[in-house]
Every structure is written in C-alpha cells, then in structure tokens.
Structure 1
Amino acid sequence: MNRRHFFRQAGTAGIGAVAAGALAAPAIAQESPKLTWRMTSSFTKNTDILWAASTDIAQSVKEATDGNFTIHTFAAGEIVPGLQAADAVSNGTVEMAHTCSYYYIGKDPTFALGTSVPFGLNARQTNSWFSIGGGNDLLNEFLGNYNLYALPAGNTGAQMGGWFRKEINTIDDLKGLKMRIAGLAGQVMTKLGVTPQQIAGGDVYAALEKGTIDATEFVGPYDDQKLGFVKVAKYYYYPAWWEGGPAVHAFFNRDKFNSLPKSYQRILKDACANANMNMLARYDASNAKALRQLVSEGAVLKAFNQQILDASFAAAQETYSELTAKNAAFKKIYDSQQAFKKDAYLWAQIADYTYDTFMMIQQRNGKL
C-alpha cells in the first residue's frame, strides 16, 4: 500500500469516527435528559423517619444521574394537604408522592391492601409479597385505574395500638370512642362500636388535646414521643393488630413514569428500594430508646387482652367477607395476601419465632 492510498483510507476512517461521535452524543443526552420533578409527602418534617424516605429517594436519584434528574421534596401542606397527595399525582399537579395507599379507601377499599389491613402481613412478609409474591404487579394493575404507579418506599414494622384517655379492659370500653385510625381498620373498629376519624398526622395532637377524639394511633414510640401524645393520653396500648407491617409507597403519575428513559425508571426503583430498607432499619434502631423515654414521662403500657383481640379478629373476618363478596379488585389482592400469609407463618413459627422467643427470654433475664 502506498502512502497516498494509506492516508486516504485513514482520512475516510476519521470522518466515520467523527460522524459516529456526532450521532452518539445526542443519543446519550436523550438517555440522561435534564429533568426536574416535584414529590409531595403525606408527612410533616417533624416525623423525620417518615419524611427521610422522600429525601433518601431524591438524593439517590440525584447521585445516580450526576444531577441530571432532580426531585424537589415538599412536606404535607406545602403543595397539597397530606391526605390529597395521591390526587395531586393522579391529576398531574406533581409527578410523584410519598404516601400510604390506605389513606384513599374513600375511593375504593382496595387501596387499604397496598399499606396494611387488620391481621395482615408483617413487615418481612409485606416486602416479600410485594417483591416476590406478585403483590406489586397486583397493586399496580388496580392503581392503573387512577393513572398511578407505585413502588414500596418504606415500612414501619409492627406498630403500637395507640393512645387512650381511659383503660380498655372490655369490648364495651370501646363503644362510643372517637378514635383517629387510618385505613380499613376504621371499618373494623366501627363493628366494635368505635367512631373512626381520619386525621392527618400533623393535626392529631390538637384533636386529642381538644377532646375532638378520645384516642389515636399513629406509628410507634419514636414518632409518638416526638409528637407528644403522652401529654394528653397516658394509656399506651399494643399491638396495632391493624398494622403488622404497613408499607409506605412512592406514587408516580403513571404517564410520567412510563415516559421516562428505562435507565431513570431503574434508578427510581432502586432509590425506592433503598428508602424502603432504610425506614425499617431506622425504626428498629430508634423505637426502644423512645419507648423507655415515654414510660419515664408517664406512659402506661397496656396490652390488648385476648377478648379484645378475638373480637377484633372476628370483626375483621366479617369485614373481609363483605368486601370480597362485592368488590372483585379487593378480592383478587386480598386472596393473594391470604395465601401468601398462610405459608409465611408456617415457616416463621418454625425458625424465627422459636429463635426470637428464646432470645427475648434471655433479654428479660438480663443475660443480653
């Protein structure tokens, strides 16, 4: 090959490389576009573990995209009230929200199954059902009717049964009680004589202090101590049989989510999974210290007795029979959870229950 022919070939190759580069740059730009979204929360900033999930998601997305995808976070009330977060996402006011599905049972009781239902799944079972048991697909099939897409983005673990102005020793003590309680548990409580109230977290203390309500449940010791409920109601009951492992979700406007590059969708999924893990870890690390503090401030710990638990379980089963008979969407998701729970508890009682029970005895005996 002579020199002239060699350089002619090299020049042609160089032109090809420049052309390829010119084509590649816009393609990369399209895969990592500059985007700014808004996320509204159903939670206030003083419930910092719940709120932190929003900022966890935003920070993860920002870092994973080198700042190309920015999510601005807004606490409850800054754009819309906490209990209107899903509506704001559905109608496109904001692109996403951090919220609890069961806040929206007024639209359809099926929403409750996205978070927690009485005598439902615990935290580990909830995460497993969503990720492995088909739960996420079932929930999103339902949420498509509202232009919503959801990803688990938090779990509190089993919650406390709440704060009461008086002791609850019998079923009759529940009759006529006005209680702030979220989700399907309110319908079950109605069968026990309670008048349920759905009040956003930031408004609960004032309602309890003024006597607008007689009792409230919220989350557990860490949040309850920060919110000061012990100052206005001293009887602190457990467990919250209506929230054995409630999921908190990131709700996305479905059209907006589907329009994202696949890489951004993957980043959001990973960011939500990280927030989901972090929330449960934070509560596990914080609740014991807060519980000790609450007791020192005058909280009287009380367990719901067997009569109340049995009556509550029966009322829950009656409620589910009524709902599954008339609501096909509810039945489809509820049946899936029930089947999953049956097997999950078969396994849990063999290993975890035996191990945990032994270790709890050691803790009570001062050996840990």
Structure 2
Amino acid sequence: MSIKRRDFLKLGPAAAAGASILAAPAIVKAQERFNWRMTTTWPSGLPFFQTGPGSATDFAKRVEEMSDGRIRIRVYAANELVPAFEGFDAASAGRQVQLNHGCAYYWAGKSFAAQYFTTVPFGMTFQGHNAWMNEGGGYELYEEVYEPFDLVPLVVGCTGVQPVGWFRRPVESLSDFRGLNIRMPGLAGDIYNAIGANARLLPGGELFAALERGAIDAAEWVGPYSDRALGLHNAAKNYYSSGWHEPATSTEVVVNREAWDSLPGDLRAIMRNAAAACNITSHVWLEARNADALDDLINNHGVRFGPLPDDVILALLEATKDILSENAAKDSLVRRVHESYFQFKSRHDRWQENSETAFQTQIRDLGQTILG
C-alpha cells in the first residue's frame, strides 16, 4: 500500500528522518573509495602490455578517471610484488592484491578451457574472436571457467594476428622441429610438443637473454613492434609468419570476486567499459605500428621474414585437431567451451569469406592496389 504525499507530510519529521536513514547506506556506498593493487605478468615499461594505450597502466588510469577517483589501482610489474606468473593466484586469494593483468592461456594448468579466451590455434581473428566473446556466449563461459577461482575476468586488449616467432636457425622442413627448444605458451606449446619440439613457458622479460645465449632455439612474443622493443632481432634473424598459433591474442584483467562484489553497480559498469575501451585501443595502436616496424627489421636489421613450410603447417593443423578433441572429450566444461567456439567460428567464417576475404582476394588476383 502506497502512502500519499499529503499523508507522508502529516507523519512529520520522524518519518522524514526514517527515510533518510533508509537512503543512507546507498549514499555511503556511492561515496566509498577503493584503493586496489594490480599485478601483471609483464616487465616494467613494456609497450602495449605494461605501458601505452590499452595497457595495464592505461586500464588503471581510465578506471580512475571515469570513476572520478573512486577507484584507484596501483599497478605492479612482474616481480615487483609477486613473480610474473603468480599474479593469478594472488588475485584469487585477494589478500595482497585485487587484480592481475595477463593472458588466460598462461593458466592452462588450472583449466584447459581458459586458453580459448586468449586465442585458439587456427581459430578466429580479432573480429570473430571478439564477436564470439561479446555476442556468442564466450563471456558467459569465461566467467563460468573462472568462478572456482573466485575471479571475474575482463578482456582488456588484443594483439591481432601474431607471427610465429624468431628462430636461431632457418626452418626448412618439419624435421627441424624435432628437439627444438621453443618458448611458446598455451595450446600452441602442447601442439609443438606433439610434433617433436620442446615448448617452454617463459615470461617476456626473460626471452631475449634465453634466446641470445642459446637456452632456447626459438621464441615467439607478439609482433614486429613489440618484438623489436624486446630486441629479439638481435638474438635471432629468422622470423616466420602465418599466425597459425595466435590469430587473436586477448589480454585480461581478473578481479577478485569479493572485491568485485564490494563495488556499487556504477563502478562495476565503469570497470567493464574501461576494459572494452582498452580492448579496441590496444589493437588499433599496435596495428598502426607493426607495418613500419616490420619494414625496419627487414631493411635495417638483416631480418629474414617469411612463412613456415607447408609440411610444418599441415602437421601443426593435424596436431591441433587431435589435442583439442582429446581435451574436449575428457571434460564437460572444456567440451562446452570448445563447441561454442567452433560453432560460432563456422558461422562467422561464412561471413568473413564473403566479406573481408572476398574483398582482399579479388583485388590481389587482379594484381591491383586500391587508390595507391
């Protein structure tokens, strides 16, 4: 039963005071401020991941500005607060830090399904991957996979297609991968192992030294701009393309569930919107720089760039099918993620073949360029 305005006024100051008391918790909640810590898996100063548009520090800055200072996030690079690959557990525990910035495929040992939310070998590129995440049920599955770890995931960046990486010696055939020590995370590492290589997971800050001294024979990182920043071209000169392993590599911020639940609704919305802005900004920022960086590596640093041999790609494709199928058969959650991803990919591929692919192929076959 509602109380008419004139009746409410008759109740006098006591009723007004009661209404104020009822409203007080909401007002206090809206005014509450949060000072959080975020660890990352990246070295201090690393472009794209740690600094620059769409990075961990950019995400923290956007959240602070959009919330008018109600959320302040202090960012710690790898090893400043915890080791590079311990931030996930630290955020899960929620005692020392509330967030971690990394990539979901680093946590394959915790859940095989996590890897699908970073990228899938021979999978979708930026457009398809993000369409699946936001409109194809990917985000809902992402949250379900992380629920046992008391974490809420947010996609905050995407590199786009990544080159295969840097090799100390040229690759001429599939046999060159037998016994090859290569830095490769996630599913692609398992696939390399299946064709006879030895995949290793190393943080970005250790790649150059490991490759230069021969502790590893090959390493992948991100792409021309980011790889040049690490100096990988000074440790190896054979750089291979195709992007089979990471056609759309997404970065993430994971938020401790208790910390997330403590936020009022508007601040949760700000976190999600800051993440979405970083996802787009990071991709276009890197896309704008990779072409010039690749030209520089080839023309000024003696880098040899080209595709892997066909027999290697075919072997990797077969190994990918086997590994994905085996793991989907063993775990119901992995199977649901796998089926969701590839059912969406099948639909999206039909559109992509008749849009971007058709556009590029016809122009290429005619031997023409568009407006210069």
* TM > 0.5: yes
Judge conservation of contact 1:158–1:246 (CA < 8 Å) in 2: yes
1:259 deviation in Å? 2.3
Deviations 1:323-352 (A, max 9, x none): 112122211101110001111111001011
What is the aligned partner in structure 1 of residue 249 from structure 2? 246
Deviations 1:239-265 (A, max 9, x none): 221100011111111222122111111
Q: Is residue 64 of structure 1 aligned with residue 89 of structure 2?
A: no
What is the aligned partner in structure 2 of residue 117 from structure 1? 120
Selected match of 2:164 from 150, 161, 170:
161
What is the aligned partner in structure 2 of residue 38 from structure 1? 37
User: Which residue identity does 2:114 align to in structure 1?
Assistant: F
In structure 2, C-alpha distance between the alignment counterparts of 1:250 and 1:363, rounded to whole Å: 43
In structure 1, C-alpha distance between the alignment counterparts of 2:36 and 2:115, rounded to whole Å: 27
What is the aligned partner in structure 2 of residue 303 from structure 1? 307
Judge conservation of contact 1:155–1:279 (CA < 8 Å) in 2: yes
- TM-score, scaled relative to structure 1: 0.91
Pairing 1:211-360 to 2, within 5 Å after superposition? 211-295=214-298, 296-358=300-362
In structure 2, C-alpha distance between the alignment counterparts of 1:29 and 1:359, rounded to whole Å: 61
**Secondary structure of residue in 2 paired with 1:176:** coil
What is the aligned partner in structure 2 of residue 190 from structure 1? 193
Judge conservation of contact 2:111–2:145 (CA < 8 Å) in 1: no
**Secondary structure of residue in 2 paired with 1:66:** coil
Q: Alpha carbons of 1:359 and 1:67: their partners in 2 closer, same or farther (altered >3 Å)?
A: farther
Deviations 1:63-83 (A, max 9, x none): 222112111111111111221
In structure 2, C-alpha distance between the alignment counterparts of 1:206 and 1:94, rounded to whole Å: 29
In structure 2, C-alpha distance between the alignment counterparts of 1:47 and 1:239, rounded to whole Å: 24
In structure 2, C-alpha distance between the alignment counterparts of 1:143 and 1:112, rounded to whole Å: 12
Judge conservation of contact 1:56–1:271 (CA < 8 Å) in 2: no
Q: Is residue 208 of structure 1 aligned with residue 211 of structure 2?
A: yes
What is the aligned partner in structure 2 of residue 4 from structure 1? none
Higher alpha-carbon deviation: 131-140 or 50-59: 50-59
1:48 deviation in Å? 1.3
1:284 deviation in Å? 0.7
In structure 2, C-alpha distance between the alignment counterparts of 1:87 and 1:44, rounded to whole Å: 18
User: Where do 5+ consecutive residues of structure 2 fail to align?
Assistant: 1-8
In structure 1, C-alpha distance between the alignment counterparts of 2:68 and 2:93, rounded to whole Å: 29
What is the aligned partner in structure 2 of residue 95 from structure 1? 98
In structure 2, C-alpha distance between the alignment counterparts of 1:22 and 1:365, rounded to whole Å: 69
User: Which residue identity does 1:226 align to in structure 2?
Assistant: A
User: Which residue identity does 1:253 align to in structure 2?
Assistant: N
1:46 deviation in Å? 3.3
**Secondary structure of residue in 1 paired with 2:79:** coil
Judge conservation of contact 1:160–1:237 (CA < 8 Å) in 2: yes
1:182 deviation in Å? 0.7
Q: Alpha carbons of 1:42 and 1:359: their partners in 2 closer, same or farther (altered >3 Å)?
A: farther
Judge conservation of contact 1:208–1:215 (CA < 8 Å) in 2: yes
What is the aligned partner in structure 2 of residue 152 from structure 1? 155
In structure 1, C-alpha distance between the alignment counterparts of 2:226 and 2:302, rounded to whole Å: 16
Judge conservation of contact 1:208–1:216 (CA < 8 Å) in 2: yes
User: Which residue identity does 1:210 align to in structure 2?
Assistant: R
CA RMSD in angstroms, aligned pairs only: 2.3
Judge conservation of contact 1:152–1:273 (CA < 8 Å) in 2: yes
